[in-house]
Amino acid sequence: MTGYILKRLLSAIPVLLGISVIVFLIMALIPGDPATAILGSYATPENVEKLNRDLGLDKSLVQQYFIWLGNMLTGDFGTSFALNRPVLDEVLERFNATLVLAGVAFLVCAVLGVAAGVVSAANQYGLADKAITFAVLLGISIPSFFLGMMMILFFAVNLRWFPVSGMWPIYGDRTLGVLLSHLAMPATALAVVATGVIARLSRSAMLEVLRQDFIRTARAKGVHERGVIWRHALKAAMVAIIPVLGIQAGFVLSGAVYIEMVFQWPGVGRMLVDAILKRDLLLVQGGVVFVAACYVLFNIAVDVAQSLLDPRIKT
Amino acid sequence: MSLFYATRRGLLAAGTALALTLGASGGALAQTPPGVLIVGQIAEPKALDPAAVTAVNDFRILMNVYDGLVRYKDGTLEVEPALATDWDISEDGTVYTFSLREGVSFHDGTPFNAEAVKFNFDRMLSEDHPFHDTGPFPLSFFFSSVVSTEVVDEMTVQFTLNGPYAPFLSNLAYPTGLIVSPAAVAEHGAEFGRNPSGTGPFTFAEWRSNEAVVIEANPDYWDGAPELQAVVFRPITDANTRTAEMLAGGIDLMVEVPPVALSEFQGDAYTLHEQAGPHVWFLILNAKEGPFADVRVRQAANYAVNKEALVNEVLEGTAEVAAGPTPPAFAWAYNPDLEPYPFDPDKARALLAEAGAEGAELTFYVTEGGSGMLDPIAMGTAIQADLEAVGFDVTIETYEWNTFLGEVNPGLEGKADMAEMAWMTNDPDTLPFLALRTEAWPDKGGFNSGYYSNPEVDALLEAARVATDQDERARLYREMQTIVQEDAPWVFVANWKQNAVTSDRVEGFALQPSFFLLLDEVVKN
């Protein structure tokens, strides 16, 4: 097992190097440079050239790439042009906020999604199945940013139950309750689509398992129906559900971009959008590499978890 | 993108309906505290170091923490004393001697004096200054005419320029000229932008990244302590979320209200503020080649575009029709006799026929967004329709803002016949000097991307730049405006009115023509 994990970790290195080259090239190739973005109307060729020199952007692309890569390997991600602070500080702080948001949203969609799928499958074509299928279809069809805005209008502007935006209040203590009141709307809006997807796939995974012989055997030996569904069938279906959860976790993380914009959540998605618009090269590059590394590690963790659960997968 | 925008527009309408149905119910959430003004800003600031930043968003905070040697008189764009009490300009316009205000201290307790002024300008301008590495200072070229800054005595400082340069005083009133504490720069180095210290009405208290910048009243302010206890600037980049925060009572003052959201703030609970600023939105016409090389065709374009409809329908009244190249906000230099080109399609057709340019094909560069560009796609489409109605054949090419600048600034030759553009400046000199002179063609490093050239205009602008007498400068600018309007190197379209909304708890707030946000007179109940 250790050897398998090690092998997977080693194979991540070329992936990350590739990502670093791609993100560097994309930022180098898209039109517009940081100096023009900073100077705006005052971007004369002369001013741009001087600022590029000050920013260290007058070197060749190859030189710039290796300087950046070398610094990054020693833990120095550079300083953001637009925010004037170390890229790593900003990325870590923002990633933390995204993890809180995406983590809670993922928890919600995993629990609700699997539960809905199981209930649906257990009552195939019954009333509960139809109601859940309808709700799921509705959830999958609503764009999350639209749902987020409607929630703001209804629950924050009109009912004033929740704050409109942000992660913490401007004044007052930073308690868990306060955080949850700020989290309620964005986490819900973020979880809705993924809940629907997980529910659908859990339902079909369960249906497949329920048709198998060992379920009939369990029923025949007198196991209570609830035990059949939740203990025997769900455990077997989890093998198919866990990769779905892994994919949806990635989806929740990337979907956080829209939600962070709408709810002004200080997360890494909003950071990247702002940084791209301002051509904040180092922040975009460092941010993308960091997020990509997290994805890769997460995928490895999912594969390892699956191989532990399913003895059929050889490590 | 336009589809997305339309969706959100519809959403706001739906939201209004929803709000009306439900009525505003009493809030369970606490209101903002009295004495503390919460401002909804459009972005996270870059730094609170006036020499290092370029964005209006950052200036809104800086103007309340720092003072300059001079400032704009309330409600105007004319300079008056601030940290300097008076000044003397040498006969030839190259030596400026300022007497400084006595008894002023920086927030860190160190005294304000001539040494501090010298430190500020040397830091920006001299590459071998020990703190030049706290930059870069992208707008330092505002002071590129300064050869040296000398301490005459404790409270007198002297600037020597490399030639007469009339906009020098208004550049000092610009945020780039705000005076920072040398001791604080020495202490914090490159981190000064997060630990600012000035002489202004508010002192810096706290900066929580991506959440808030907090400034507190300076009880010892030389111009009278502010009424507010503190101001909190919250970055809320999404305009719809900013609107929702204002409606929900999460902020007290909101800047840059999107035109579609203005109707939300009718009624007694809010006050809508508007102020025309030193902004002009125009179309650059390629006067070097193609149909616009003929002045009659350029004038025809000016007659053909329905500017009233643009400002009232597309921009929902958030701008006024521009008459010429200089915005009326520069009251002292503006030519009030100038009448905008009327909307007259028949006259446009007649001019086109006279020039033999019926059916002329035009390539029109449109941007998707960008600083001061208002609603460029909707405006571009409306302009296209107006021009086609009089017989032009217009093809639009749309670019993202940074790409757009990369296409337009090097000149339109061989690529396009017209391009959208907008400028916001602090002196009537800046825009025409950089964008209308023959010497400002792109190959010479200027912004005259349409290659307009008129020796008379060149002479007037050169003369105005070196005239130190304001009345003389005003006369030269007025004459220039008349000629430029007649020559029509641009289609003059709109002057943007900046807007802001305050809640009914806020009193004493007014927007400035400079577009700066000054809060020392504001009261919150």
pLDDT digits (tens, 9 = 90+) for B201-257: 999 999 988 889 999 999 999 999 999 999 999 999 888 899 999 999 889 999 988
CATH number among 3.30.450.20, 3.90.550.10, 3.40.190.10, 3.30.1200.10, domain B36-269+504-524: 3.40.190.10
Q: Please give the pLDDT value at position B2.
A: 36
Least confident of A21-35, B177-191, B411-425: A21-35
Is A281's pLDDT higher than 90?
A: no
CB neighbour list of residue A95: distance below 8 Å, 6 or more residues apart: A267, A268, A290, A291, A294
Q: Which residues contact B82 (CB under 8 A, 6 or more apart)?
A: B67, B68, B69, B70, B71, B101, B173
Q: Kindly tell me if the per-residue pLDDT of A101 is higher than 70.
A: yes
Whether the Cβ atoms of residue B315 and residue B374 lie closer than 8 Å to each other = yes
A105, B234, B358 from A177: Cα distances, Å: 16, 22, 69
- C-alpha distances (whole Å) from A47 to each of A200, B58, B109, B142, B402 are 57, 20, 36, 11, 15
Tell me if A153 sits within 8 A of A189, measured CB to CB. Answer: no
Asked if the Cβ–Cβ distance from B28 to A160 is below 8 Å, we say yes
Q: Give B407 to chain A, closest Cα distance, Å.
A: 10
CA dihedral (B180, B183, B189, B194) positive or negative: negative
pLDDT tens across B45-61, in order? 888 999 988 888 899 99
Residue B307: pLDDT above 90? yes
> Residue A274 and residue B44: Cβ atoms within 8 Å?
yes
Please give the pLDDT value at position A315.
53
HEC-encoded secondary structure of B436-487: CCHHHCHHHCCCCCCCCCCHHHHHHHHHHHHCCCHHHHHHHHHHHHHHHHHH
Distance between CA atoms of residues B501 and B254, nearest Å: 5
pLDDT of B26 reads 35
Interface test with A, best of B400, B402, B408, B427 (most A CBs within 10 A): B402
Write down the pLDDT at residue B27: 37
Residue B501 has pLDDT above 80, yes or no: yes
Residue B144: how many CB atoms within 10 A of its CB?
Answer: 13
Kindly state the helix (H) or strand (E) to which residue B203 belongs, with its residue range: strand B202-208
Q: pLDDT per residue over B61-118, tens digit each? A: 999 999 999 999 998 889 999 999 999 999 899 999 999 999 999 999 999 999 999 9
Confidence grade of residue B389 (pLDDT, cut at 50, 70, 90) = very high
A45 contact residues in B (CB cutoff 8 A): 409-410, 445
For the complex shown, is ipTM > 0.95?
no
Residue ranges matching CATH 3.10.105.10 in chain B: 277-497
The whole model's pTM is what?
A: 0.82
Q: Which of the residue ranges B349-353, B424-428, B439-443, B493-497 would you say has the lowest mean pLDDT?
A: B424-428
Domains within chain A, CATH numbers bracketed: 96-265 (1.10.3720.10)
The arithmetic mean of pLDDT across residues B260-286, rounded, is 91
Query: Would you tell me which residues 340-369 of chain B have a C-beta closer than 8 angstroms to some C-beta of chain A?
Result: none
Please name the residues between 46 and 105 in chain B that touch chain A, using a CB distance below 8 Å: 46-47, 52, 54
> Residue B236's closest CA among B271, B261, B218?
B261
B372 vs A: CB within 8 A: yes
Please give the single-letter amino acid code of residue B134: T
Query: Of B70, B48, B66, which is closest to residue B57 (Cα–Cα)?
Result: B48
Q: How many residues does chain B have?
A: 525
Residue B194 and residue A84: Cβ atoms within 8 Å? yes
Query: Does residue A53 have a pLDDT over 90?
Result: no
| Tokens found for residue B269 | 């609970």
Superfamily of domain B277-497: Dipeptide-binding Protein; Domain 3 (3.10.105.10)
Cα dist. A230→A219, A243, B10, B270, B508 in Å? 13, 19, 45, 56, 66
What is the arithmetic mean of pLDDT over B141-159? 95
Distance from CA of B54 to the nearest CA of A (A): 7
Interface check B250 vs A, CB under 8 A: yes
Residue A84 with chain B: CB contacts under 8 Å: 46-47, 52, 193-194
Closest in B193, B194, B405 to A36, CB measured:
B405
Query: Where in chain B is CATH 3.40.190.10?
Result: 36-269+504-524
Q: Tell me how far apart the alpha carbons of residues A254 and A245 are, in angstroms, rounded to a whole number.
A: 14
Local confidence band at B522 (pLDDT 50, 70, 90 cut-offs): very high
**Residue B96, SS3 per DSSP:** strand
Mutate: best of B140, B233, B237, B238, partner A, most A CBs <10 A: B238
